[in-house]
Amino acid sequence: MATDTLIGAGFTDPVFQSQAAFRALLGALSEPGTLQAIHGGIAPPEGLHAATATALLTLADYETPIWLPPALRDGPAGAWLRFHCGAALVEEPRRAAFAVIDGAALAPQLTDFDPGNDQFPDRSTTIIVQCAAFHGGEAVTLSGPGIATRREIAPAGLRPGFWAEVAANNAAYPLGVDLLLAHGDGVIGLPRSTQIGGAA
């Protein structure tokens, strides 16, 4: 089919669009739980939210292997990332610098990705979790660096047990993966330093 082989456009103004997107990502991870808008001005390929596509276009290149769910990897999204980022698409989650997962899918688990090692905790995977909405899900309370007291979020469309996985990820601090929840053109950062509590 013609649409399978066509690769959509990337940034029209790479310098300034990636700079603006990066500042949104920096804001997301330095102030976990705040909703940041990424306006990349791009039409994402099928299967990726605009925020996911813009974040990868901003951060990924030939140095950073990307893991995608097999359906996306073999589809237009994989071709789009190969073309625009020049990134390798890997099959083993543990080899990925960046990963995109569907929040509702039961596999892979967060522990399947690279948590870094004790001497180089920075070598861990950054996972973009695509979710159904930022409201209406199970409410959790966040605390830790970047949060003055506490912050509450309730993203929807996450698999059962997801928050237990995130809490276990935080328990391994300073090791662990860093999460970006993405929906539409919004992101919420959940670095490994953030502690997860129940609803207030």
Q: Give residues in contact with another protein (CB under 8 A).
A: 12-16, 18-20, 22-23, 25-26, 29-31, 58-61, 63-64, 97, 118-122, 124, 126, 144-148, 173-174, 178, 191-193
In angstroms, what is the minimal distance from the CB of 57 to another protein? 10
**Using omega within 30 degrees of 0 as the cis cutoff, is the peptide bond preceding 174 cis?**
yes
Nearer to another protein, 178 or 185 (CB): 178
Can you give the chain as a three-state secondary structure string?
A: CHHHHCCCCCCCCHHHHHHHHHHHHHHHHHCCCCEEECCCCCCCCCCCCHHHHHHHHHHCCCCCCEECCHHHHCCHHHHHHHHHHCCCEECCHHHCCEEEEECCCCCCCHHHCCCCECCEHHHCCEEEEECCECCCCCCEEEECCCCCCCEEECCECCCCCHHHHHHHHHHCCCCCCEEEEEECCEEEEECCCCEEECCC
Nearer to another protein, 47 or 176 (CB): 176
Nearer to another protein, 59 or 166 (CB): 59
Nearer to another protein, 88 or 132 (CB): 88
In angstroms, what is the minimal distance from the CB of 62 to another protein? 8
In angstroms, what is the minimal distance from the CB of 181 to another protein? 14
In angstroms, what is the minimal distance from the CB of 5 to another protein? 26
In angstroms, what is the minimal distance from the CB of 38 to another protein? 13
Nearer to another protein, 186 or 191 (CB): 191
